[in-house]
Structure 1
């Protein structure tokens, strides 16, 4: 796998005079700018980089910019986002394998790619430079796909974020690592929010990813799929992208629905015949839930939502009156009660509700009602997982700021009491807060492992045998795509009479080039008084700068407009918002390169490639029904040269592919040959 290594300049020199941006607000509307470029990503990324710091240590054609993003002000916590402009013409690997794996092999190769990289440690990035993969996907399906982390490549594992966007606005999320993946300061949710804001602000068209995200030993695309009907990335709009192992969208949806809607009233009796622990887990969360949990999806969803609201290690929440018996308490019970309720009132007024509030903020708000600062300090020091009225006052130390923070939880909203069952309300309250996040995770892992991943004997026979088939189909789907709907149709409606500029959707008709030279529509911006001839030349400039295969394109005419009308204004001849086709031709030398003239086969693939998937096309004919390279490990038959998945051929992921490989069809043909007697 090829890597790009960028040596950065002195950290002191680079930090001097740089702008500082808030991490949580970066690329929100108007911050740092309103990205309204009609040209979409290609114009907006230039606008964004105008606010960045150009790295002084970068030489040659490659350019690198950086942004300082402030996570916290006290203490100051800053991460650095790098944006690297890759000149594809100078790259040893012009084609993007991720495009081919997601089904975008027909996209024209762009002249530039932009890498967005958030290194794991600021100090490491400054000391050692920046290193990341440029040959995405490496072996193009002949290598085993990564199974660790979230959509990652070998040289991107050291980064919290690595995304790449082609100049035409199509991109890929290559790597994402949150707190469990080695991040010291920022969570996976925060990183994903940042990436989504960047893509939205810059008017990216579509973004793909390969979802291999895990929570411990649990595959999140399976866990969240059963609980919510979508992958973990689904909350940001990522949906089914393409088939893998021949699993179509309809089969994927049916598998998710079958697993999610599995009735607990049928599941639990079967489990109880072979194991008492699994039914006990189901019964425990059914008892503490405030509503009836009917299906496996209901149970997993309840457990996942409950996890975020449970303390990590603390056990029983106690009545706050117990703090009055402490030796350091020198105030009356009435005054302590007033101070505790003042703290609760201060937390109740926090916006948004149930957010974590720093100790200083709580103290300042309660001072309006309690003048004795010593009493307030005592109550704040003593309150932590204590019940005050109908609320539990949670207390924790922020791992980043090292500051105490408080949060208020309504007792009934955390784990509503279940009436009946012969347990007193006080007893339920005690059991309720004995459940910790770690205990819930152990129960969740146990449920995941013995029901979904490695089902017990009770779930492998009869109708329950379909569970394994459905689980395999869900796990086989790793490619997900988000369409940002920032299409050219919306941009083309801007402008017209009374506006200084007009925006038109343009594409090209190449008369003498390869049939692959069919670019998508791009927005071309012109002055309102522009002539037809200016439209023709501007379209030529935009497409020749964007795509390598169109560098020598020469525009001849606008389809539907006569040659004698080129001096007339565009407005009046072309309706604003309509599609415009510009006809022309590519240069003779480039045309020969595309057609492969004058080259040996081994030497012409790279220069002739105009699309991400062109050159060296594979014939995929697999027993699972796959007819295209989906990025999974494959082997090539040495007789018919058809590719098929190693898994479908019975080769385990832990085994190497044999040096001589025959597909099942050719193997049967060989066996059926009559023996030769010499």
Structure 2
């Protein structure tokens, strides 16, 4: 742990604790947290944060300073405690939209809207770079420019709301670094589950589409998040099926399915260009499917610009001739004698030809264009007319003037280890291009005889024109174009992947080296309370006890945990316990309960008429959309004025952006009305 004089975050204190951003909340750094989350978060604020003198809209605020060990930037992590009793929004919209949860937590079946309202929730916020030296604004909960914003209920369930990182404008901290920090925090403080809505983008690319197709899972899967549910009734099975179909889609079939002419040409250019780039590399598999191309592009984008591509590492560097003559590199006179014996016209290295040509294009572009022509000839494997070569090369080279200039200068030249021949077909009198493998005795020759070089002179070598190595920006543009083309060609499967937005990660209850007992305590309503329940029971609370604890102490701790966590159970008094046997003074372990067991607690004092009962709010509403959705998924909905069942506006035929009609009837009610009218007639 470090200490700095003069707090960088507003200089609110003379001294402040500062922790390493990359190691903070690793095991034992700065402490271990063995209790339930509701107690661990308090311990965390006491040990690892400083109380801010200024509150956030009247709510107590703490600040933890984290220094990036590499760049030295000091990042403020704010924690704001919000009380449900004093909050303007005591219910949780994120819990209501975290529906269809079907995890190993067997008590969670229909999302979190049935959770009892927690007394406290904690907002974790890292502001944007420009606000690091300012206190949090009173409206900080509603700003969208934070680098990070998470909401954690005191019962251990939470939501990741915002994550921006460098894409959000940060100059110092990436989204991956923030996710690493958040994951360590959740693990250390014993969070039980975190949900999120994945709308992550990289520029104009939706990452959930790009990474699902290239690696089989979205970006958040790196930290253990898995599919919770999709919008518009998308299920895990449908999502997996769509991923398999799109990832294995043949690139040639993809191009055929794109109807738009401009988009079709763009896809053809992308596929042709990157397939040609793979040709020199025997270790790179051919680009056949969508996943092949996406992975190749992502690998290309990550490689530093100055790094030599693996596809080109096997090509010989342009080095001078060694002292001992090589059969592959001979003096010009030997080359001329060789060409006389073979009876073929001599050839020149196009690298030298390009350097001597007086053109408005740089030599490097001439090299690249010549290599594209050679790749087109190699792909077709036969003679091609000038027009055929020109059309094939235009898929990669947009400058027709450059292409015509290269074709005019390319006859009898060596490019990439091949000899390009340009001859007139005697039958058709049409100019044709062909390729010849360069034999070991054929090298670049000069048009004019030159004297034999002396022993001290360096002799020329053939320098191979190398394929274009695209910049990261160009690769990113091509990735975006490929994703757009994929959605246009396969809108149904692509839409399923795009609608798979809701993901979750859970942390199982685990025993630690402290030898203490951990139980899941479930509130069990009495018969009268059970009749007043309108939703499923809330999840159990975690209770941590010493190994020598008695049955009576466990009941007291269970009562304290429930009263401390939920508004409706603030006056609860435990009277009966199931799951453990024995008298109050007897040891828990003797009563048949083991660590990790579920304990049921019944008593009196639960407020069944509490205004703050369920996180989903007091309204009871039903979703029954034609797409299969049976719970709120965060998409725009409209309620039927006859049956009061909610439907997606898109599924009801109301386009996005169009206002909802003042009176709406679902398809079933319209059919019923028509049938009733027919009967009346």
Match of 2:635 in 1: 632
Match of 1:208 in 2: 195
Match of 2:645 in 1: 642
Cα pair distance change 1:131/1:314, threshold 3 Å: farther
Are residues 1:18 and 2:5 paired? Answer: no
**d(CA) in 1 for partners of 2:536 and 2:256?**
61
Cα pair distance change 1:665/1:11, threshold 3 Å: same
Match of 2:396 in 1: none
- Pick one of 288, 291, 298 that aligns with 1:294: 288
Asked whether the 8 Å contact 2:519–2:543 carries over to 1, the reply is yes
Per the TM alignment, residue 32 of structure 1 is displaced from its structure 2 partner at its CA by 2.0
**d(CA) in 1 for partners of 2:179 and 2:580?**
47
TM-score between both structures, scaled by the size of structure 2: 0.68
- Pick one of 31, 46, 62 that aligns with 1:65: 62
- Pick one of 69, 84, 96 that aligns with 1:100: 96
- Pick one of 31, 42, 48 that aligns with 1:46: 42
- Pick one of 7, 30, 33 that aligns with 1:32: 30
Q: What secondary structure sits across from 1:639 in the alignment?
A: coil
- Pick one of 582, 597, 603 that aligns with 1:585: 603
**d(CA) in 2 for partners of 1:176 and 1:656?**
30
Q: Which 5+ residue runs of structure 2 have no aligned equivalent?
A: 1-6, 100-111, 279-283, 319-415, 419-434, 439-460
**d(CA) in 2 for partners of 1:270 and 1:635?**
35
Are residues 1:531 and 2:547 paired? Answer: no
Asked whether the 8 Å contact 1:312–1:438 carries over to 2, the reply is no
Q: Which 5+ residue runs of structure 1 have no aligned equivalent?
A: 1-8, 134-154, 323-417, 456-466, 595-606
Match of 2:497 in 1: 474
Are residues 1:559 and 2:578 paired? Answer: yes
Deviations 1:31-82 (A, max 9, x none): 22223x142x2232223212211111128972211111112566x4222110
Structure with bigger gyration radius? 2
**d(CA) in 1 for partners of 2:581 and 2:260?**
82
Cα pair distance change 1:11/1:71, threshold 3 Å: closer
Match of 2:487 in 1: 453
Output aligned runs, 1:363-512, within 5 Å. 430-433=466-469, 435-449=470-484, 451-455=485-489, 467-483=490-506, 485=507, 487-488=508-509, 490-491=510-511, 501-511=516-526, 512=528
**d(CA) in 2 for partners of 1:189 and 1:213?**
12
Q: What secondary structure sits across from 2:234 in the alignment?
A: coil
Are residues 1:621 and 2:624 paired? Answer: yes
Match of 2:427 in 1: none
Are residues 1:114 and 2:133 paired? Answer: no
Are residues 1:83 and 2:79 paired? Answer: yes
Per the TM alignment, residue 163 of structure 1 is displaced from its structure 2 partner at its CA by 0.6
TM-score between both structures, scaled by the size of structure 1: 0.68
Match of 1:278 in 2: 267
Per the TM alignment, residue 119 of structure 1 is displaced from its structure 2 partner at its CA by 0.1
Per the TM alignment, residue 557 of structure 1 is displaced from its structure 2 partner at its CA by 2.4
**d(CA) in 2 for partners of 1:242 and 1:122?**
36
Deviations 1:384-404 (A, max 9, x none): xxxxxxxxxxxxxxxxxxxxx
Deviations 1:183-209 (A, max 9, x none): 232122222222222222222111111
Per the TM alignment, residue 305 of structure 1 is displaced from its structure 2 partner at its CA by 2.1
In the alignment of these two chains, the number of paired residues is 511
**d(CA) in 1 for partners of 2:29 and 2:174?**
22
Q: What secondary structure sits across from 1:503 in the alignment?
A: strand
**d(CA) in 1 for partners of 2:664 and 2:465?**
64
Asked whether the 8 Å contact 2:417–2:464 carries over to 1, the reply is no
Asked whether the 8 Å contact 1:112–1:166 carries over to 2, the reply is yes
- Pick one of 244, 253, 260 that aligns with 1:257: 244
Asked whether the 8 Å contact 1:494–1:503 carries over to 2, the reply is no
Asked whether the 8 Å contact 1:506–1:523 carries over to 2, the reply is yes
Q: What secondary structure sits across from 1:571 in the alignment?
A: helix
Cα pair distance change 1:122/1:20, threshold 3 Å: farther
Per the TM alignment, residue 96 of structure 1 is displaced from its structure 2 partner at its CA by 0.9
Per the TM alignment, residue 230 of structure 1 is displaced from its structure 2 partner at its CA by 1.4
Deviations 1:103-140 (A, max 9, x none): 1222222111111100003546615635333xxxxxxx
Cα pair distance change 1:423/1:526, threshold 3 Å: farther
**d(CA) in 2 for partners of 1:312 and 1:158?**
34
Cα pair distance change 1:580/1:279, threshold 3 Å: closer
Per the TM alignment, residue 582 of structure 1 is displaced from its structure 2 partner at its CA by 4.4
Q: What secondary structure sits across from 1:18 in the alignment?
A: strand
Are residues 1:166 and 2:120 paired? Answer: no
Cα pair distance change 1:423/1:175, threshold 3 Å: farther
Are residues 1:545 and 2:579 paired? Answer: no
Output aligned runs, 1:310-321, within 5 Å. 310-311=304-305
Cα pair distance change 1:670/1:212, threshold 3 Å: same
Asked whether the 8 Å contact 1:632–1:645 carries over to 2, the reply is yes
Output aligned runs, 1:215-254, within 5 Å. 215-254=202-241
Asked whether the 8 Å contact 2:57–2:138 carries over to 1, the reply is no
Cα pair distance change 1:519/1:426, threshold 3 Å: farther
Deviates more, 1:438-447 or 1:512-521: 512-521
Asked whether the 8 Å contact 2:56–2:80 carries over to 1, the reply is no
Match of 2:529 in 1: 513
Asked whether the 8 Å contact 1:272–1:278 carries over to 2, the reply is no
Asked whether the 8 Å contact 1:72–1:78 carries over to 2, the reply is no
Match of 2:168 in 1: 181
Per the TM alignment, residue 665 of structure 1 is displaced from its structure 2 partner at its CA by 2.4
Asked whether the 8 Å contact 1:271–1:279 carries over to 2, the reply is no
**d(CA) in 1 for partners of 2:194 and 2:481?**
34
Cα pair distance change 1:664/1:580, threshold 3 Å: closer
Per the TM alignment, residue 427 of structure 1 is displaced from its structure 2 partner at its CA by 6.8
Deviations 1:562-589 (A, max 9, x none): 78x222232322443262534332327x
**d(CA) in 2 for partners of 1:527 and 1:502?**
6
Q: What secondary structure sits across from 1:649 in the alignment?
A: coil
Cα pair distance change 1:268/1:427, threshold 3 Å: farther
Per the TM alignment, residue 16 of structure 1 is displaced from its structure 2 partner at its CA by 1.9
